[in-house]
Structure formats: structure tokens, C-alpha cells
Amino acid sequence: MDWSIQDVARLASTTSRTLRHYGDLGLLPPSRVGSNGYRFYDEHSLVRLQRILMLRELGLGLPAIGDVLGQQQDENAALRHHLDWLKQEQQRLVRQIRSVKKTIDTLNREEQLMAENMFDGFDHTEYLEEVERRWGADAYRQSDAWWRSMSTAEKTAWRLRQRALGADWQAAAVRGLDIVGEEAQALAQRQFDWLHGIPGTPGVGAGPTREYFLGLAELYVADERFAANYGGQVGAEFVRDAMVVFAERNL
């Protein structure tokens, strides 16, 4: 009562290559191998294949499927774990979709404006009125002048660092790091140093003042335009909390 590899492949609408692959991984060994090397499968193989295909449709990886089938993992637990992963992936996609849409919008609105540089402006110049309201017109004028005085290379390098910082903050928030931990505080230090370079920031030279630093931290949470650079609301809150801790310790 056994079938050839092609019989089984046709039954399951898959390929012999796939069955051989599963055989190589030990997921679905042939029930019998002829003296000529031909693989044969019996009814138990079919049941096992049925389960493999089910789990694969759910998106589980082959090693995970192996663990479930080998009783080394509770199926229920494996599925729950997998579900968490799927939800995370979905969130990632949602964020990417939002970003792509925003980028398309920006491109269409400012088509001819962007000659060489993708996006001009940065945290401060981009949000003029907010900065002026908080720290006065002088602060804005100073940082704006500083920005304009930079060469293209300097501007680009600056933006590169800005993006890198934002990405690292985001990664830290996702990894759920402790805000008082070493890594998160190192990021806060980078944030401090980064602000250090911007004239118009109260206390520059010695570095931003405690008040300014804390005010900026709150701004990240309060204004969604800022939050976008730090991984959304949740990310911004993580950034703020780490910055607050940093300020209390060092400023």
C-alpha cells in the first residue's frame, strides 16, 4: 500500500522536489526506499504530509513544523508564538505603508522643489512656529543660520546621523530595552551630543540645558510630526523616558 513520489506529489499538488526536500530535512522520510533508491510513501506519510502542508499554509517555518510534529513543541504554544510574530510583521507593514504613502504625497507636492536634497529642514527648522513658541525667535534664527551655513556634505552627514539615531531609537524601543539601562542611556547621550552641534539650542557650547533637553523630550511625545521620526507614539514615549532619566542623571 504505497505510492511513488510522483503519485504523492500529484495528490498534494506539490512537487517531487519538495518531497525530497522534506525527506532531506527529516520532516517526511519515505516509508520505504527500494533497492533501486526509489522513495515510496504509505498512508502514514500522507497524514504527516497533510499536517505539514497545513502548518506551512499558516506560515510556520519548516524547523518549527518539525518541532511540532516531533512532539518537541506543543502545537498550541507554537501557534501562539507564531501568531505573535505574525502580528509584529503586520505592524511593520502598516508602518511601512504609512511611510510610503507619506513619501509619495511629499514627492507630488514638492516635485520641482527638490533638486538635489531629498528633504530640507530638520527638527527645528521644519517646525518653525513650535520652536519659536517654546524657545523664542532667537533660537530659531540662530539654528536656521547655522543650518544654512553648512555645506551640502555637512548637511547630508548631519541628516545621516539624524536618521541613524532615529532608527536606533526605534530598534531600542522595539527590543523593549530598559530605559535606565546602558544601551538606552548611550542613545540618550548620542541625542545630547547631536543637539550639541546645533546653535540656537539654549546652553550650546556646554551642551543643551536641562530645561531645553526635557522640553524637547516632551515635544517628541506631544507632536506627532516629531514622533514620526522616532517610531510613532510608543517610540517617542520611549525616547522621552530615556531622555528624562538621562537629564536627571547628567544635567
CB 144 within 8 A of CB 198: no
Our finding on whether 17 is near DNA (CB under 7 A) is yes
The nearest distance, CB 63 to DNA, in angstroms, is 6
Our finding on whether 5 is near DNA (CB under 7 A) is yes
Our finding on whether 25 is near a copy of itself (CB under 8 A) is no
**62-69 and 75-109 helices cross at what angle (nearest 10)?**
160
Compute the distance between CA of residue 87 and CA of residue 141 in angstroms, rounded to an integer.
45
In eight-state DSSP terms, residue 4 is E
Please report, as a single letter, which amino acid is at residue 48: R
Residue 234 interaction partner, one of DNA, a copy of itself, none, beta carbon < 5-8 Å per kind: none
Nearer to a copy of itself, 167 or 222 (CB): 167
Residue 21 interaction partner, one of a copy of itself, DNA, none, beta carbon < 5-8 Å per kind: DNA
- Candidates 2, 12, 20, 126: give the one binding DNA (CB under 7 A): 20
Residue 31 interaction partner, one of a copy of itself, DNA, none, beta carbon < 5-8 Å per kind: none
Q: What SS3 class is residue 110? A: coil
Within residues 53-92, the interface with DNA by CB under 7 A covers 56, 61-63
How many Cα atoms within 13 Å fall on the side-chain side of residue 173? Answer: 23
In eight-state DSSP terms, residue 27 is S
Q: Pick the closest to residue 57 from 76, 74, 79, 73 (CA basis).
A: 79
Our finding on whether 28 is near DNA (CB under 7 A) is no
Length of the chain: 251
First and final C-alpha spacing in the chain: 79
**174, three cell numbers:** 522595539
Contacts with DNA, 193-232, as mask; x by CB under 7 A: ----------------------------------------
Q: What SS3 class is residue 35? A: coil
CB 214 within 8 A of CB 244: yes
Give the residues lining the site for a copy of itself (CB under 8 A). Answer: 1, 11-14, 42-43, 46-47, 49-51, 53-54, 57-59, 75-76, 79-80, 82-83, 86-87, 89-90, 93-94, 96-97, 99-101, 103-104, 107-108, 116-118, 151-153, 156-157, 159-161, 163-165, 167-168
Give the residues lining the site for DNA (CB under 7 A). Answer: 4-7, 15-18, 20-22, 30, 34, 36-39, 56, 61-63
